[in-house]
Amino acid sequence: MIILDGGLGHQLRAVGAPFRQPEWSALALMEAPQFVREVHDQFIAAGADVITTNSYAIVPFHIGEDRFEAQAGELLVLAAKLASDAADAVSHKVYVAASVPPMFGSYQPDQFEVQGARRMMQQFRRHLAPVADIFIGETLSSVEEATTYLEVFADCAADLWLSVSLADADYEPDRPKLRSGEPLSELLLSIEGMRFDALLFNCSQPEVMADAIKAGRAELDAFTTQHGAAPPMIGVYGNAFPLMDDKYEGANANIHQLREDITPENYLHFARHWAEIGADIIGGCCGVSPDHISLLAKALKDPPPINAPEFG
């Protein structure tokens, strides 16, 4: 089992970093980057095998068009360095996943525009590639967002992980959908034949993840068996947000409260089930803390076999 880190944004707030909307986690990069390093160190100490660059909010949606044009490059380089330095500071191998967020805001697939997204994604690729063991497109909410990301990063040297966000406000059992309303089955058909090393589900409520894992595992296993290739890994990292229903004001409208019932113990209960039904990678998204990750690592991480091959 590969253990990811948890939610950087809320953990930055928890340790006292500068934090507000609309800048979200980018504000700490701008004003107090030492807090970003502190949070990376916390997740590594908790047992994360993979830490994620604090690059999720370095988009115009959060920092504005002018600031993006003027500062995106230097902020991405700083985010890369902070994660790389934290990974290099420990004696065991910790992998760096370069976060590529939704270019036009979380949960807003209707705002997606291909050419603008490709231009911005190229900046992420250029500035994060020097440290990336993995590129991970996170919280992508439509088929078009996902396929555009895979096209831009198709020939990158790092491993390529695709992580999509699932609809949870209108969740229908056994019929997982992206936040765009498109069925997960449509995404799976659309990415068949494209390069990706792992398919993950993130930033949705834990309750909706199992059906997506089952559907993804079955489809990817069937496709790769037909073509004689090893199947991509399946991963999941849920959030601790309340339900994003029709009263939801938007991803950067305010700082959302967290569910009190997503304790480390309760989150582990979900994670054990995800592992049983085929997840290879488990971590946490918004509101999932180092305490959650520590419990996951102790319960789910197998001791590495002698001479185990590395990924990345």
In a domain, 267, yes or no: yes
In a domain, 311, yes or no: no
Instruction: Note the pLDDT of residue 221.
Output: 87
What sign for the dihedral angle of Cα 240, 243, 244, 247? Answer: negative
In a domain, 307, yes or no: no
Q: What's the residue count for the chain?
A: 312
Angle at 295 between CA 289 and CA 296, to 5 degrees: 90
Residue 179: give its domain's CATH number: 3.20.20.330
Virtual torsion, Cα 191, 197, 201, 207, nearest 10 deg: 110
Angle at 122 between CA 121 and CA 127, to 5 degrees: 100
β pairing state of 198-202 and 95-100: unpaired
Q: d(Cα 192, Cα 219) in Å, to the nearest integer?
A: 9
In a domain, 66, yes or no: yes
What are the residue ranges in the chain where pLDDT is below 50? 246-249, 305-309
In a domain, 310, yes or no: no
Instruction: Note the pLDDT of residue 227.
Output: 55
In a domain, 54, yes or no: yes
Q: d(Cα 300, Cα 170) in Å, to the nearest integer?
A: 31
Range of the domain at 234: 2-300
In a domain, 205, yes or no: yes
Contacts of 285 (CB under 8 A, 6+ apart): 6, 7, 139, 202, 203, 237, 238, 239
DSSP reduced 3-state for 120: helix
Whether the link from the prior residue into 22 is cis, omega within 30° of 0, is yes
In a domain, 305, yes or no: no
Q: How many domains does the chain have?
A: 1
Instruction: Note the pLDDT of residue 304.
Output: 53
Instruction: Note the pLDDT of residue 222.
Output: 85
pLDDT tens digits, one per residue of 218-233: 999 887 666 567 889 9
Instruction: Note the pLDDT of residue 171.
Output: 87
